[in-house]
Amino acid sequence: MHKNYKKANKSSINEGNYVTIYDKVIDFLIYQWYAVPAAFATRWVKKIKKLPLDRKKWLDERARRISQESVPVKRNNIKKRRKSNKTRVLKAPEIFSLYENPDHTIRYFDSVINEATKHEFDATIFFDLQETKIIKIDAIMYLLAIIQNLKYKTVFRLTFAGNQPRDSEANSVFKESGFLKYVNSVDKALYKTSDKVQIATGKDVDALISRVICDFAIEKLGNDYSKRKILHPALIELMTNTRQHAYDSSKHTRMTHQWYIYTESTSDKVNFTFLDTGFGIPQTVRRNFLEIITQRMPIFQNNDARLIYSALLGEFRTETKKRNRGRGLPYILENACNNQLQNLSIISGNGMCTFGGGNEPELRSIEHQFMGTLFSWSFRKDNLEVPQ
Average pLDDT of the segment spanning 179-208 = 86
Average pLDDT of the segment spanning 265-281 = 91
Locate the domains of the chain by residue range: 2-83, 85-192, 198-388
Is residue 6's pLDDT more than 50?
Answer: no
Measured at the alpha carbon of residue 118, what is the angle toward residues 82 and 81, in degrees to the nearest 5? 15
How high is the pLDDT of residue 150?
A: 78
How high is the pLDDT of residue 116?
A: 82
How high is the pLDDT of residue 186?
A: 78
Band of the pLDDT at 245, cuts 50, 70, 90?
low
How high is the pLDDT of residue 316?
A: 46
Is residue 180's pLDDT more than 60?
Answer: yes
Select 198-388's CATH number: 3.40.50.300, 3.40.50.720, 3.30.565.10, 3.40.50.2300.
3.30.565.10
**CA gap 194, 274 in Å, rounded:** 20
Average pLDDT of the segment spanning 344-353 = 91
Average pLDDT of the segment spanning 282-296 = 56
How high is the pLDDT of residue 75?
A: 46
Q: What is the dihedral of CA 278, 142, 190, 216, to 10 degrees?
A: -60
Band of the pLDDT at 329, cuts 50, 70, 90?
confident
* pTM reported for the whole predicted model: 0.71
Band of the pLDDT at 210, cuts 50, 70, 90?
very high
Of the CA atoms within 13 Å of residue 50, those in its CB half-sphere come to: 6
Is residue 227's pLDDT more than 80?
Answer: yes
Average pLDDT of the segment spanning 130-142 = 95
Is residue 143's pLDDT more than 90?
Answer: yes
Residues 291 and 310: beta-carbon distance below 8 Å: no
**CA gap 351, 291 in Å, rounded:** 14
**Percent of the chain surpassing pLDDT 70:** 64
Band of the pLDDT at 87, cuts 50, 70, 90?
confident
Band of the pLDDT at 33, cuts 50, 70, 90?
low
Residues 192 and 154: beta-carbon distance below 8 Å: no
How high is the pLDDT of residue 198?
A: 93
Average pLDDT of the segment spanning 91-112 = 94
How high is the pLDDT of residue 257?
A: 85
**Nearest Cα to Cα of residue 142 among 57, 69, 103, 199:** 199
Average pLDDT of the segment spanning 233-240 = 90
Average pLDDT of the segment spanning 328-349 = 84
How high is the pLDDT of residue 312?
A: 85
The pLDDT mean for the chain works out to: 76
